[in-house]
Structure 1
Amino acid sequence: MAKTRKQLLQLLQQKPDKRSDSFDRKLITPMIVGSVLNPVNSSIIAVSLVPIGTAFGVGLSSTTWLVSGLYLATALGQPVIGKLVDVYGPRRLYLAGAIFTGIAGLLGALAPSFWVLIVARVILGFGTCVGYPSAMYLIRSEARRTGHESPAGVLTTLAVSAQTIAVIGPPLGGVLISLGGWRTTFALNILLALACLYYGFRRLPSTTPLREVPIDNSESHLDYPGMLLFAVMLVSFLYFLMNPQISQLLLLVITVLSAIGFGWRELHCAAPFLDLRVFGGNRPLLITYIRNALAMTVGYAFLYGFSQWLQDGRGLNAAATGVILLPLSLVAIGVSSITGRRKEIRIKLLAAAIAQIIFCLLLLVLSSASPLWLLVVVIAIAGIPQGLASLANQNAVYYQADPTRMGASAGLLRTFTYLGALLASAANSLFLQRTADTAGLHRLAVFMLLISALFALLTVVDRSLGKVGVPNPDPTEKHVETVEQQ
């Protein structure tokens, strides 16, 4: 009897295991720290290009490769890492990515030449592309573990943190450059890598793959030929876009041939690098990827082109440029925070498209004598699509993708993000060849206006957006019937 009383008292004193049926909140910090590595390095370089070019005596057409190098590595690495996360879980890959990020930060901070700096950015691209697919994987795996859908606020927090860091990057870069020069923007990665290692070791679980079926040997192998063809296709096309001349038509031929070879390889490979067959059966997901690429093309073209124009065309220094871009951060954060928990994907995307068209039109009236208040208005309007588009597209992918391929699907979303960034980089190189003057800014604005119109059109005609977020009692199943025969 005494023993029974003692056991009963112990049971009453035990705290309930909240993790058994709720999202494990200790995962949020490593998820956020890992997923912001890429956005901060994508945006902080915007105010560093001019100082770096001056330091090494190279022009804008060369410094653009600091942007493109990271994006090429990220576009190639995201789906590879996403697939590996699906197969092996995120912990080991997350820690390896942190190590690569730290090495790249140290290499960039000590780079003796411009080409070493490009190598550092490429390594940085591979190192920083781990965090986002790992985070999306953890969100889905928590839904599977608890039997309940992960809180909407977790997805919103992930998106808002990435957006916030992306738009805070230029002001942060301006401050760092004013304090210690452009090399401090690379050294920042050493601290971020140490934070990832700390939280990765302490908080990330050794998770099992989301797939219920055993993974065969072919599925765990990497599609190296597919990856190579994909890289050749991207690099050759980017080279042509940066210097579109008749003498460079051979690059277009290489692009087309590698694209054909890539398509054939992926359709006939047992474990393809990019599963084109999945795209064929999930048209809404493919449209979301394309729409995301268009939105990011405009966003990154504005971020880099306008930042360079503020320095070359308007005569501001890097620190002042970073400060004047602050409204972009504030508006994006505010818009994301207010709309993050709302499920109306189509409305968010339409509002983003309208805002893009408006600020592109305003860019056409700017000149070197434009008042500061007008510049601030343009920047503030540009913050609206920054806060809406990537959040809406991320949520769409979460519901449209196969849950067992969440890591790869999230990686592909970032791949299309940086395909847009690569196109933006090429556009900046084309329209702002020697210096970022007002005439070049206007040409860039026309390009962005055309892309914005295409983004709006693709949003209007996509009827599947009305079904995104429809509740499903089983969180391990798709939340939207994306394989409808529309």
Structure 2
Amino acid sequence: MTPRLLRPGGRDTRPSPTAFDRRLIAPMVLGSVLNPVNSSMIAVALVPIGAAFGAPPAETAWLVSALYLATALGQPVAGRLVDMYGPRRLYLIGTALVGVAGLAGALAPSLGVLIAARVLLGFGTSAAYPAAMRLTRDESARTGRDSPAGVLATLAVANQTVAAIGPALGGLLIGAGGWHLVFTVNVPLAAACLALGARRLPRTPPAAGPRGVDLPGMALFAVTLVSLMTFLMRPQAGRWYLPLVCAVAACTFAVRERRVPDPFVDVRVLAGNLPLLATYLRQLLGYTTAYAFLYGFPQWLEQGRGLGSSAAGLVLLPLSGAALAASALTGRREAVRTKLVVGSLLQMTGCAALLLLGSGTPLWLLLVVGAVMGVPQGLIGLATQNALYRQADPQRIGSAAGLLRTFSYLGALASSVATAAFYPHHADTAGLHGLALFMLAGSALLLATTLPDRSLARLTPRKA
């Protein structure tokens, strides 16, 4: 039985006992988009930031990797804490950190400080999405009804749309006042989240049962990810020890999590949930391609095609429109398998089209390629989120949602590694074609993992 939700303040503002409390939607959506907006705006800011600090693409790529590495670590940690202590507290702490990070980035005197601000942004934006998924599950338990598809669709549509319009927004901000505004905009966004969260999010009692925080498990998880990604960012024979550290930490993590009573990640349950593991893999594959395009294409537009930052952002507007249309038109129907198949096929089509581009490609073709790549952004995110909601343990929905985001950020990290590899000094056309082949292979793997999985067609709403 779910405890009664206590609203802040003294007024009786209890929601309907049979309907989703729609006052929660605004803080849920606004908080959850903080990460995708910061992920995508930076795509058109990399070149002017590199010019400002005299840094090549291989160094500015750390602005991408730093945020995603921090978020990949922070999402499951925040999700576990949300499951233990309730969503409101973690939401408010996380959004406050976003405001601090935005101010630090705007005032950064060097690239190193800017990277540190992105790390803080990664940790700060880690709490809102697991909190939103926890709130959705709690509302389902409170009302005794399956949460409406429209609520999950609203969350997914907002995240996909913001990720898609981020480059255009970043371009407009840079044109208005320079790359510093890409960081400054977090201050009013964080303030709005704090105001909405403090006013509307319910106070919930901590979860019953063991409440110890598995700090050793979290530390081993962090060592595994950091050592792996540090090696991938610059794979060299002299850094052979990093894969070894990763393997040892991963094995130790798996053994330890099987033995502790309240693990950070319940690997026993996770290992027995093969459909959920497949969903995580698809999230990794789909987002590797999506983010490789999001980061690689704008850099080529600026350096290989000769467009300015604002113009490059505007060229990606069809990406935004297509993602929004796909999400809005299909959001209320789960159709997980169909969305994954169509999304992977369209990703493959868009990647193949990139092989046709060159320095003299007409503008209309660039717009078409962006539109084609936008539709999968709207479909794949919806599909994996709905699959996770049906497949995960309801009592660990925050942790499961955090891990889903972790796999999307691992995809983003993989994309940044690929971007740095194909653009070592300059985002030229040859590098774009190499990146396109990498993306095409990932999209083909996504299709190959989806077509044989008949369990996706049997996913149905379940009672809380």
Do both share a fold (TM > 0.5)?
Answer: yes
Matched letter for residue 45 of structure 1: I
Report the counterpart of residue 423 of structure 2 in structure 1. 432
Q: Retained in 2: the 8 A contact 1:87–1:215?
A: no
Q: Deviations over 1:345-397 (max 9, x none)?
A: 10110000100111111111111111111111111100011010011100010
1:343 aligns with 2:317: no
Matched letter for residue 162 of structure 1: N
Q: In the superposition, relative to structure 1, how do residues 443 and 94 fare at CA in structure 2: closer, same or farther (>3 Å)?
A: same
Q: Deviations over 1:428-472 (max 9, x none)?
A: 11111111111111111111111111110111122210111x243
Rg larger in 1 or in 2? 1
Q: Within 5 A, what are the aligned runs for 1:44-59? A: 44-59=41-56
Report the counterpart of residue 377 of structure 1 in structure 2. 368
5+ residue gaps, structure 1, are: 1-15, 477-486
Q: Retained in 1: the 8 A contact 2:68–2:413?
A: yes
Report the counterpart of residue 484 of structure 1 in structure 2. none
Identify which of 308, 328, 350 aligns with 2:319. 328
1:307 aligns with 2:279: no
**Structure 1 residue 422, shift from structure 2 partner:** 0.8
5+ residue gaps, structure 2, are: 1-12
Report the counterpart of residue 99 of structure 1 in structure 2. 96
1-side partners of 2:133 and 2:185: how far apart? Answer: 25
1-side partners of 2:289 and 2:88: how far apart? Answer: 34
**Structure 1 residue 18, shift from structure 2 partner:** 6.1
Report the counterpart of residue 85 of structure 1 in structure 2. 82
Identify which of 26, 31, 35 aligns with 1:38. 35
1:127 aligns with 2:118: no
Report the counterpart of residue 110 of structure 2 in structure 1. 113
2-side partners of 1:17 and 1:277: how far apart? Answer: 38
Identify which of 59, 79, 87 aligns with 1:62. 59
**Number of corresponding residues:** 453
Matched letter for residue 173 of structure 1: G
The DSSP-based 3-state class of the residue aligned with 1:138 is helix
Q: Retained in 1: the 8 A contact 2:281–2:407?
A: yes
Report the counterpart of residue 69 of structure 2 in structure 1. 72
1:453 aligns with 2:444: yes
Q: Within 5 A, what are the aligned runs for 1:187-266? A: 187-208=184-205, 214-216=208-210, 220-266=211-257
**Structure 1 residue 88, shift from structure 2 partner:** 1.1
Consecutive aligned runs of 4 or more in structure 1 exceeding 6 Å deviation: none
1:139 aligns with 2:139: no
Moved more, 267-276 or 198-207: 267-276
Q: Deviations over 1:27-74 (max 9, x none)?
A: 010000110001101101101111111111111111111111111111
2-side partners of 1:59 and 1:228: how far apart? Answer: 32
1-side partners of 2:325 and 2:252: how far apart? Answer: 45
1-side partners of 2:230 and 2:271: how far apart? Answer: 29
**Structure 1 residue 245, shift from structure 2 partner:** 2.7
Q: Cα RMSD (Å) of the superposition?
A: 1.5
1-side partners of 2:78 and 2:250: how far apart? Answer: 22
What is the TM-score of this pair, normalised by structure 2? Answer: 0.95
Question: Could you tell me the percent identity over the aligned residues?
Answer: 57
1-side partners of 2:336 and 2:282: how far apart? Answer: 12
Q: Retained in 1: the 8 A contact 2:102–2:183?
A: yes
Q: Retained in 1: the 8 A contact 2:73–2:225?
A: no
2-side partners of 1:399 and 1:222: how far apart? Answer: 26
The DSSP-based 3-state class of the residue aligned with 1:19 is coil
Report the counterpart of residue 270 of structure 2 in structure 1. 279
2-side partners of 1:312 and 1:261: how far apart? Answer: 45
2-side partners of 1:230 and 1:87: how far apart? Answer: 19
Q: Deviations over 1:181-207 (max 9, x none)?
A: 000010000011000110011100102
**Structure 1 residue 267, shift from structure 2 partner:** 2.2
Identify which of 23, 26, 45 aligns with 1:26. 23
Report the counterpart of residue 404 of structure 1 in structure 2. 395
Report the counterpart of residue 168 of structure 2 in structure 1. 171
1-side partners of 2:18 and 2:461: how far apart? Answer: 18
What is the TM-score of this pair, normalised by structure 1? Answer: 0.91
Q: Deviations over 1:134-191 (max 9, x none)?
A: 1111111111111112221111000000111111100000000011100001000001
Q: Retained in 2: the 8 A contact 1:108–1:120?
A: yes
The DSSP-based 3-state class of the residue aligned with 2:113 is helix
**Structure 1 residue 246, shift from structure 2 partner:** 2.2
Q: Retained in 1: the 8 A contact 2:419–2:435?
A: yes
1-side partners of 2:78 and 2:233: how far apart? Answer: 28
